[in-house]
């Protein structure tokens, strides 16, 4: 059991952190004996835990008692013995003296975390406040230059490794279902329906320019092959015939994704009303009038119902729901009028969002939001690959947005070649292999057709994700799985007669995807260092059991 000693203001942050690192813990109780004790305070009570971790960017009483010299530092990137790099956003304290270093500044050689061995226990002193870092990540989010860092997941992994290196057994519910390596969430933003709706406007002229000139320039620099160049030029020259109704409108078939996704559930975010740009307020985005879509859900009612019949999800591509309960309710009700679904998720058009949005969206009745990502990069906006609960709400959840087609390929964004995009996406897939959680893809309706033609890349990416053992589905399916994981409570965790015994409380598990408990059993802790992984892990299916026990000796584990 982990005991946490923190300020009153930090408690809500601690609670969310341990929903992501799903392991037995509680706020400090003086009558409880803990295996691990975590403190963020200047002074801490006397405890007999085998491992004590002190997180603070200010000197604490322990530093004085141990004659540890400290000084503030401005470094913002850290690494460990395995050279795992991650950023820190709050204040930092470095340590000097005869100590065992665990985390270093990058670049440079300042020590940001140290290990002190004492009789019968190990103390790890960390020069930042973990829970302040978590608060920043889950609210403000990471700047785009740090998009590729799964920072919060690294914090979880680091704590797990420190516990195991102290020879302390650990149990958790990993953030992925039994038999799979992680989740992949397939989403499609429906922004344009038919190029016939765009006559002599900016969208049409942009299509002509990108189809002719943009494709040629991309071909000359090696970004577009001859086949794509030819398809784009042919599409531009066919445009008059499209307007005349003599040739098929190639922007009219967003339901092609149902075939490409090949039986996997996917989520389609549909705009409720045509020609509504919405309120700009203080977001100050360029040319806000372009946000108005020339279609509404009434125009695609048959396609939407077809997708629902195939088992896909339809959510709201919101206009003003991010800031207005009244307008959000109107938008939600318009989608529900067609879908006849009460439970609904949302992704804001152009990813509009502010610090008040979670509370507003929860009060409006949405189950989850999928807007937290980057328009001009791919990666981990909030540093996590897990569905999480924003601060200030009760049941409303966020599913991260990680890989967006326009961010990868659009000329005014990353503007990558396929090979470059492959390399970038591979970094995210590797992070998912390492940490689990969910990778959310967003591919727009236009992206299958000229002038974009990004469908082949999407198919290859989907196949690669599938080959890596991901469970692939819709946002609603994945959010509901994480919601059930959050419902599991570790009521008791203790060791008796060489066995780790757990008492759990769970709601009825109905997602159809099996959760499991992962037990980590360390070897002889006396010979271990923090850079070693001298332990074994064993998995037990979680099927609503109330009591579970696991032997702590390797030889006794089946």
Does 82 reside within a domain?
Answer: yes
Residues 383, 326, single domain; the answer is yes
Residue 88 · residue 205 · CB < 8 Å: no
Residues 285, 158, single domain; the answer is no
* pTM of the full structure: 0.94
Q: What is the CATH number of the domain that holds 370?
A: 3.20.20.370
Does 386 reside within a domain?
Answer: yes
Any residues with CB less than 8 A from the CB of 244 and at least 6 apart, and which? none
Does 472 reside within a domain?
Answer: yes
Residues 432, 542, single domain; the answer is no
Residues 202, 323, single domain; the answer is no
Residues 232, 321, single domain; the answer is no
Any residues with CB less than 8 A from the CB of 545 and at least 6 apart, and which? 504
Q: What is the DSSP letter of 31?
A: T
Does 296 reside within a domain?
Answer: yes
Does 177 reside within a domain?
Answer: no
Residues 437, 539, single domain; the answer is no
Residues 166, 272, single domain; the answer is no
Residues 98, 217, single domain; the answer is no
Does 512 reside within a domain?
Answer: yes
Q: What is the CATH number of the domain that holds 149?
A: 3.40.50.880
Among 105, 140, 172, give the residue marking a domain's end.
172
Among 204, 228, 250, give the residue marking a domain's end.
250
Distance CA 430, CA 404 (A): 17
Any residues with CB less than 8 A from the CB of 440 and at least 6 apart, and which? 184, 185, 187, 370, 373, 399, 400, 401, 402, 403, 475
Structure tokens at 381: 């906006």
Does 126 reside within a domain?
Answer: yes
Residue 471 · residue 439 · CB < 8 Å: no
Domain that holds residue 408: 182-192+252-482
CA distances from 93 to 8, 57, 76, 149, 155 (A): 23, 5, 11, 22, 17
Residues 410, 282, single domain; the answer is yes
pLDDT digits (tens, 9 = 90+) for 160-216: 999 999 999 999 999 999 999 999 999 999 999 999 999 999 899 999 999 999 999
- Per-residue confidence in pLDDT tens, the chain, 558 aa: 999 999 999 999 999 999 999 999 999 999 999 999 999 999 999 998 999 999 999 999 999 999 999 999 888 888 887 778 899 999 999 998 767 899 998 876 799 999 999 988 999 999 999 999 999 999 999 999 999 999 999 999 999 999 999 999 999 999 999 999 999 999 999 999 999 999 999 899 999 999 999 999 999 988 889 999 999 999 999 999 999 999 999 998 888 999 999 889 999 999 999 999 999 887 666 678 889 999 999 999 999 999 999 999 999 999 999 999 999 999 999 999 999 998 999 999 999 999 999 999 999 999 999 999 999 999 999 999 999 999 999 999 999 999 999 999 998 899 999 999 999 999 999 999 999 999 999 999 999 999 999 999 999 999 999 999 999 999 999 999 999 999 999 999 888 888 889 999 987 666 678 999 999 998 754 444 444 457 888 999 998 889 998 887 755 554
- Mode of pairing for the β-strands spanning 25-27 and 69-73: unpaired
Provide the number of structural domains found in the chain. Answer: 4
Q: DSSP H helical segments within 244-369, as ranges?
A: 256-260, 301-309, 325-339, 357-364
Residues 469, 544, single domain; the answer is no
Percent of the chain scoring above 70 in pLDDT? 95
Residue 556: per-residue pLDDT = 53
Distance CA 340, CA 157 (A): 42
Distance of CA 24 to the CA centre of its chain: 22
Structure tokens at 366: 């949405």
Residues 366, 451, single domain; the answer is yes
Does 470 reside within a domain?
Answer: yes
Residues 8, 102, single domain; the answer is yes
Helix (H) or strand (E) holding 236: helix 226-243
């Amino acid at each position: 059991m982990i005991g946490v000693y923190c300020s009153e203001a930090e408690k809500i942050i601690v609670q969310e952190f341990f929903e992501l690192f799903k392991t037995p813990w509680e706020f400090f109780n003086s009558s409880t004996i803990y295996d691990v004790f975590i403190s963020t305070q200047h002074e801490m009570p006397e405890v007999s835990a085998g491992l004590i971790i002190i997180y603070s960017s200010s000197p604490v009483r322990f530093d004085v008692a141990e004659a540890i010299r400290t000084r503030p530092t401005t470094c913002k990137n850290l690494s460990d013995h395995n050279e795992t790099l991650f950023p820190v956003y709050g204040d930092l304290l470095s340590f000097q003296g005869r100590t065992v270093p665990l985390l270093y500044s990058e670049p440079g050689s300042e020590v940001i975390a140290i290990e002190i061995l004492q009789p019968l226990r190990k103390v790890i002193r960390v020069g930042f406040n973990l829970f302040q870092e978590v608060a920043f990540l889950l609210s403000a989010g990471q700047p785009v230059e740090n998009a590729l860092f799964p920072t919060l997941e690294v914090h979880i992994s680091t704590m797990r490794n420190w516990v195991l290196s102290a020879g302390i057994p650990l149990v958790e519910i990993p953030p992925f279902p039994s038999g799979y390596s992680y989740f992949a969430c397939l989403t499609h933003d429906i922004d344009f329906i038919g190029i016939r709706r765009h006559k002599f406007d900016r969208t049409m002229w942009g299509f002509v320019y990108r189809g002719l000139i943009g494709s040629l320039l991309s071909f000359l620099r090696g970004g577009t092959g001859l086949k794509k160049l030819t398809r784009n030029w042919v599409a531009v020259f066919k445009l008059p015939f499209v307007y005349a109704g003599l040739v098929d409108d190639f922007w009219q078939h967003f339901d092609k994704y149902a075939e490409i996704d090949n039986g996997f559930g996917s989520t389609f975010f549909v705009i409720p009303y045509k020609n509504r740009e919405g309120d700009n307020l203080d977001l100050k985005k360029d040319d806000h009038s372009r946000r108005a879509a020339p279609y509404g859900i009434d125009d695609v009612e048959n396609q939407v119902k077809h997708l629902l019949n195939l088992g896909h999800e339809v959510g709201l591509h919101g206009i003003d729901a991010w800031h207005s309960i009244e307008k959000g309710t109107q938008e939600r009700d318009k989608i529900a009028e067609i879908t006849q679904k009460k439970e609904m998720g949302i992704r804001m058009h152009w990813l509009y969002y502010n610090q008040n949005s979670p509370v507003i969206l929860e009060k409006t009745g949405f189950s989850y939001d999928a807007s937290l990502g980057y328009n001009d990069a791919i990666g981990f906006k909030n540093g996590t690959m897990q569905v999480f609960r924003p601060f200030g709400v009760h049941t409303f959840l966020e599913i991260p947005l990680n890989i967006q087609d326009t961010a990868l390929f659009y000329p005014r964004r990353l503007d990558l070649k396929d090979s470059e995009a492959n390399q970038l996406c591979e970094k995210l897939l590797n992070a998912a292999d390492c940490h689990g959680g969910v990778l959310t893809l967003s591919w727009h309706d236009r992206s299958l057709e000229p002038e974009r033609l990004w469908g082949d890349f999407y198919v290859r990416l989907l196949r690669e994700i599938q080959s890596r053992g991901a469970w692939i589905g819709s946002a609603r399916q994945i959010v509901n799985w994480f919601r059930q994981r959050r419902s599991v409570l570790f009521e008791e965790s203790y060791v008796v007669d060489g066995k780790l015994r757990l008492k759990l409380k769970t709601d009825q598990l109905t997602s159809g995807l099996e959760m499991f408990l992962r037990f980590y059993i360390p070897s002889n802790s006396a010979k271990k260092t923090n850079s070693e992984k001298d332990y074994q892990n064993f998995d037990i299916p979680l099927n609503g059991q109330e009591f579970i026990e696991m032997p702590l000796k390797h030889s006794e584990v089946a």
